[in-house]
Structure 1
Amino acid sequence: MTDVAVLGAGMHPWGKWGRSFVEYGRVAARAALADAGLEWRGVQSVVGAGTVRGGYPGHVAGAAFARALGWQGARVASVYAACASGAHAVAAARAQILAGQADAVLVVGADAAPKGFFAPAGGDRDDDPDWLRFRLLGATNPAYFGLYARRRMAVYGDTAEDFARVKVKNAAAGALNPLARYRKAVTAGEVAASPVVADPLRLLDVCATSDGGAALVLGSMEFARARGAADPVRIRAVSTVTPRYPRTVLDLPDIATDSGCGTGPGPAGAAVPFRASIARAAYEEAGIGPEELSLAEVYDLSTALELEWYEDIGLCGPGEGAALLGKGATALGGRVPVNASGGLASFGEAVPAQAIAQVCELTWQLRGAAGARQVPGARVGIAVNQGLFGHGSAIVAVR
């Protein structure tokens, strides 16, 4: 048995609050502990998802959060995996529980993001992929979001109107989420009228940078049952696979591994695109397929990227994402709602927190506690993300 129970989930609302990431994490942690009905002193371990922009406390996030909650002897660990940090923190906590090292583990991620584009965090150095992209190529994140969008337009015939429909869908869901930063429905016309950021993507096609925090209390199934939780939400699989590159490019600068480049493991050694391999590894570990999903939370840095995730997680074939969206299949009330939370379109990026926030949403949905955005009868969900340096991120939750 590889299941671990989600005993509690909590978040600090996303926004621009002007406070330390540690404060956001402390609030989220307290909310998750309250949801679990567990005192802080009952936690044996804390795993913090790191933020390199948070200075020294960001590099030792586990200890920073433990200190903020009050030293009580718990072991600590800190995990940094860029945008996949939250999923890697969940993986570390799950490993501790399955190894019998702890009955209850607190996982926390939080960020206080700067306004505008993310700047390189490592300084001017040629082993920093951000520096290489930003300074040598002039490619801030929206630049390659735009390249992705142009490729889909050229290869699959996607249109700017297709991309706008993603934003309209996610904004409608986010308007129902009290934790979201942007709680306002938008129209396709409003998307089209917003300023161009990286052609063909406009301001409302691209997610913002945000402050926010998210936390989970994970426990062994035995611990959950002993506390009266007979049927808790369970994390059944966590995928943190890395890409594979042809040997001919191994010596080239590693500047695009957060962009879905490269391939990953597939059946009988066959290569599959990196993002698809992230989800495939999670499906294989969980023993399920995409046809069993009730909902999905995906990493919508841009509207065009969400369409690609539909294909990568197996909701449809390559190039069919826009058609699936057009049928309403991924909207609330559709066959497999995607980003019922509102996604990054409604929250923005709080990097170490976002993969944890995705699991919070899955937890509330699988409990039937998501309010006006509830997916009826939700039983299986997947959360997918990915991080710079080739960090995979997929989590399957079931009930």
Structure 2
Amino acid sequence: MSGDVAVLGAGMHPWGKWGRSFVEYGRVAARNALADAGIDWPDVQSVVGADTVRGGYPGYVAGATFAQALGWQGARVTSVYAACASGAQAVNTARAQILAGMADVVLVVGADAAPKGFFAPAGGERPNDPDWLRFRVLGATNPTYFALYARRRMAVHGDTPEDFALVKVKNAAAGALNRNARYRAPVSAEQVAASAVVADPLRLLDICATSDGGAALVLSSMEFARRHGAADPVRIRAVSTVTPTYPKAVLDLPDIATDSAVAVEPATASFRASIARAAYEEAGIGPSDLSLAEVYDLSTALELEWYEDIGLCPAGGGAALVREGATALGGRIPVNPSGGLASFGEAVPAQAIAQVCELTWQLRGTAGDRQVPGARAGITANQGLFGHGSAVVAVR
């Protein structure tokens, strides 16, 4: 298809709490992606950096920051910010440059050095931002937000804390097989149940951590890929970065009350579902064509929401999928074979890029012990602050 771009290289810096600059994580990830692609740094014509608001001025000009760290060589630079969707916005920017004929080879890089504890809003007062209002007016940190979703699922769909725990068990088992993951130990349902309550009904092991890490991709035109000897590369076929639809200006905030008497079915499809739908439409595929998915499991309960939003099952069917093992490695449609945020934690500008790295390795058949047999198509999905969300479809 004319809208395809090739993924020539994928690379990461392992996630953890390393206490170093995000620039180092990005540089290592970029070098790994270049080596994976068999491309020399001077061959890169453009660098797109996913910004981090926690890295000072260098974080706001990430494209130039990473280009400098790799060594000035004249490449075009672009920097983008879209909270959790920053990495996918960077991929989309790179793809647009390639399809417009502005560059044949583009390096996409995202990295972060996250603070300990909960993320807080950055950038001053934003009274028109529902997420800022959630923090400032309600005092609802992210785990509280996640817990409200979980309570809604329990009230509307009958999900249980035991269902949520199965998501952590599944993702920890996959993360134990991933050398880039921060947490590489299997977790039992009993361990989830015994961990501290953070925001009822979610416990510590139901919620993702904040992490340091980096991820990078080398993208190219299909013509360049063929000249480079990549006859059948992984291809990015669609990137969705749609916004919510008016008049639903408040982004899927659940009812503040969590009693089952007032928790009702949402009136319209969620913002997250619209993100995935736009990606499917552009790619010309549907959920039944997927081999795997990488979704933003900020909490175990939110992963179940994603099953429904990307069309793997009807509303309320997520818990049944995880109970039957359909979304585990070896299941019908593995979700988060990388281990997900449960195993990595959030390194915000890197994570959407890391999701595409996982699709790349899976579609190449090089994911090792976590390989999804015969993988041919995959989707990534995430949601970030103030209407920033994304989905990427990759095929082989």
Fold match by TM threshold 0.5: yes
Give me the whole-angstrom Cα distance separating, in 1, the residues matched to 2:276 and 2:254. 12
Task: Give, in angstroms, the shift of residue 271 of structure 1.
Answer: 5.8
Which of 390, 394, 397 is matched with 2:394 structurally? 397
Match of 1:264 in 2: none
Contact 1:307 1:322 in 2 (8 A): yes
Match of 1:298 in 2: 295
Which of 366, 369, 381 is matched with 1:369 structurally? 366
Match of 2:224 in 1: 223
Contact 2:129 2:386 in 1 (8 A): no
Which of 269, 281, 286 is matched with 1:284 structurally? 281
Q: Please tell me whether residue 257 in structure 1 is matched to residue 254 in structure 2.
A: no
More deviation, 117-126/224-233: 117-126
More deviation, 116-125/17-26: 116-125
Match of 2:140 in 1: 139
Task: Give, in angstroms, the shift of residue 121 of structure 1.
Answer: 1.3
Give me the whole-angstrom Cα distance separating, in 2, the residues matched to 1:215 and 1:362. 13
Kindly report which structure 2 residues correspond to 1:1-399, keeping only aligned pairs within 5 A, or say none.
1-124=2-125, 126=127, 129-246=130-247, 257=251, 272-399=269-396
Which residue identity lines up with residue 309 of structure 2 in the other structure? D
SS in 1 for 2:269: strand
Give me the whole-angstrom Cα distance separating, in 1, the residues matched to 2:340 and 2:376. 20
Which residue identity lines up with residue 144 of structure 1 in the other structure? Y
SS in 1 for 2:78: strand
Give me the whole-angstrom Cα distance separating, in 2, the residues matched to 1:325 and 1:318. 14
After superposition, the C-alpha distances for 1:254-281 in whole angstroms (9 at most, x for unaligned) are xx638699xxxxxxxx963211110010
Contact 1:260 1:274 in 2 (8 A): no
Give me the whole-angstrom Cα distance separating, in 1, the residues matched to 2:254 and 2:351. 18
Task: Give, in angstroms, the shift of residue 218 of structure 1.
Answer: 0.1
Match of 2:262 in 1: none
Task: Give, in angstroms, the shift of residue 287 of structure 1.
Answer: 0.3
SS in 2 for 1:389: helix
After superposition, the C-alpha distances for 1:327-348 in whole angstroms (9 at most, x for unaligned) are 1100000000000000000000
After superposition, the C-alpha distances for 1:41-80 in whole angstroms (9 at most, x for unaligned) are 0000000000111110111010000000011000000000
CA change 1:258–1:33 in 2 (3 A) is: farther
Give me the whole-angstrom Cα distance separating, in 1, the residues matched to 2:16 and 2:253. 26
CA change 1:128–1:241 in 2 (3 A) is: closer
Match of 1:267 in 2: none
4+ residue runs over 3 A deviation: 123-131, 256-261
Unaligned runs of 5+ in 1: 251-255, 262-269
Contact 1:257 1:388 in 2 (8 A): no
SS in 2 for 1:381: strand
Contact 1:84 1:391 in 2 (8 A): yes
Which residue identity lines up with residue 54 of structure 1 in the other structure? G
SS in 1 for 2:55: helix
Give me the whole-angstrom Cα distance separating, in 1, the residues matched to 2:254 and 2:362. 28
After superposition, the C-alpha distances for 1:238-261 in whole angstroms (9 at most, x for unaligned) are 000000132xx75xxxxx638699
Task: Give, in angstroms, the shift of residue 130 of structure 1.
Answer: 4.8
Count of paired positions: 384
SS in 2 for 1:272: coil
Which residue identity lines up with residue 94 of structure 2 in the other structure? A
For normalisation by structure 1, the TM-score amounts to 0.94
SS in 2 for 1:53: coil
After superposition, the C-alpha distances for 1:171-202 in whole angstroms (9 at most, x for unaligned) are 00000000000000010000000000000000
Task: Give, in angstroms, the shift of residue 136 of structure 1.
Answer: 1.9
Contact 1:260 1:273 in 2 (8 A): no
Task: Give, in angstroms, the shift of residue 119 of structure 1.
Answer: 2.0
Match of 1:266 in 2: none
Which residue identity lines up with residue 177 of structure 1 in the other structure? N
Task: Give, in angstroms, the shift of residue 217 of structure 1.
Answer: 0.2
Give me the whole-angstrom Cα distance separating, in 2, the residues matched to 1:220 and 1:23. 28
Give me the whole-angstrom Cα distance separating, in 2, the residues matched to 1:43 and 1:7. 12
Give me the whole-angstrom Cα distance separating, in 2, the residues matched to 1:145 and 1:30. 36
Contact 1:5 1:235 in 2 (8 A): yes
Give me the whole-angstrom Cα distance separating, in 2, the residues matched to 1:257 and 1:53. 24
After superposition, the C-alpha distances for 1:271-313 in whole angstroms (9 at most, x for unaligned) are 6321111001000000001001000000000000000100000
CA change 1:283–1:124 in 2 (3 A) is: closer
Contact 1:258 1:388 in 2 (8 A): no
Which residue identity lines up with residue 251 of structure 2 in the other structure? T
Which residue identity lines up with residue 313 of structure 1 in the other structure? I
Give me the whole-angstrom Cα distance separating, in 1, the residues matched to 2:78 and 2:330. 40
Contact 1:366 1:379 in 2 (8 A): yes
Which residue identity lines up with residue 81 of structure 2 in the other structure? Y
For normalisation by structure 2, the TM-score amounts to 0.95
Give me the whole-angstrom Cα distance separating, in 1, the residues matched to 2:252 and 2:30. 28
CA change 1:196–1:271 in 2 (3 A) is: closer
Give me the whole-angstrom Cα distance separating, in 2, the residues matched to 1:106 and 1:65. 10
Give me the whole-angstrom Cα distance separating, in 1, the residues matched to 2:180 and 2:22. 16
Percent of residue pairs identical: 83
Match of 1:265 in 2: none
